Amino acid sequence: MTIRTILVPVRGDDRGEGLLGHALALGRRSNAHIEVVHCRARPEDMLPFGVFLPASMREQIKTAAGSMADVEEDKLRPLFDAYAKTHGVEVVESPPWPQDRASMSWRERTGKQPNIIAVYGRLADVIAVPRPDRSQNFGVNTLEAALFSTGRPVLMCPPGAAGTVGEHAAIAWNGSAEAARAVALAMPALIGAGKVTILSIGSEAAADMGPDMLAAHLASHGIEAGVIERDGGKVAQTVLSECGNCGADLLVMGAYGQSRQLEMVMGGVTQHVVDNARLPILMSH
């Protein structure tokens, strides 16, 4: 059981290098293949919705959008090749992927990024996406597509350069079905981790499915896990602060146990972590 493929969708923003760095930091631990997918917008998607435009203007907009997509593609591919060379990662364009070292490939897909992720993410072992910024309406649809349309674990990566990812994995545990699913899907990363810590925070932890039971389950897979228990306090804030206190570089957690819409409007554990995490989060729903 290991991570063999990580899907990394990119487009012409400033998040691509940091996102790729986090994916590669996790992928190197298991000699995974990093499949970088450039999501090229369709010209028709650039047309304003619900606004009547003369046919000539529609064609002008589509032509301009196609030219912009060409420019973006011509800019990003050399950056990808330079990144691979700088970091000593072999670019392998078709399977079989190497088993004894990390590798990368570049793919062009046409369409909206969430739609591309929803389809091609289903056969990835992990999907890496940037942490959304709701204030700028950035990345929300991408994260949602990865979480709710693929059935795969999602590595949500904070802005900035990557350090280690998966050397010390923390697990946010409350005994719920969502948390159990997250642990099951993250098992390859947990097996490959140098250290694992279970975080059991306040009333969120179910008494009949406590951290000791999870520790025993992990032990049956050869994983020795420590336990940190905290009473009371705000669960999401405490989880993130304890990750910092114990030195975790990856947090495993279930996502949106409540209604996603309710958490976004009223707040919730997942939404607070999504908005504020400074370490990579391996989550699933």
Query: Could you read off the pLDDT of 101-156 as tens digits, one per residue?
Result: 999 999 999 888 999 999 999 999 999 999 998 877 788 999 999 999 999 999 99
CA distance 92 to 104: 6
Sheet with strand 154-157: strands edge to edge: 90-91, 103-110, 33-40, 5-10, 126-130, 154-157, 281-284, 250-254, 168-172, 195-201, 225-230
For the chain, list the domains and their CATH numbers.
5-157 (3.40.50.620), 168-284 (3.40.50.620)
- Per-residue confidence at 262, pLDDT binned at 50, 70, 90? very low
pLDDT over threshold 60, residue 266: no
CA distance 107 to 95: 13
DSSP codes of every residue in 17-64:
HHHHHHHHHHHGGGT-EEEEEEEEPPGGGGSPTT----HHHHHHHHHH
Query: Could you read off the pLDDT of 172-230 as tens digits, one per residue?
Result: 999 988 999 999 999 999 999 999 999 998 755 556 789 999 999 999 999 999 999 98
CA dist list (Å): 99 to 33, 125, 275: 9, 15, 36
Going 151 to 153 to 158 to 160, the CA torsion angle's sign is negative
3-class SS at 109?
strand
Q: What is the pLDDT of residue 76?
A: 86
Q: What is the pLDDT of residue 257?
A: 64
CA distance 123 to 116: 12
3-class SS at 95?
coil
Within 8 A by CB and 6+ apart from 169, the residues are 186, 189, 190, 193, 195, 196, 197, 248, 249, 250, 251, 252, 282
Q: What is the pLDDT of residue 39?
A: 85
Q: What is the mean pLDDT of residues 78-98?
A: 95
Q: Where are the alpha helices (DSSP H) in 105-168?
A: 113-120, 140-149
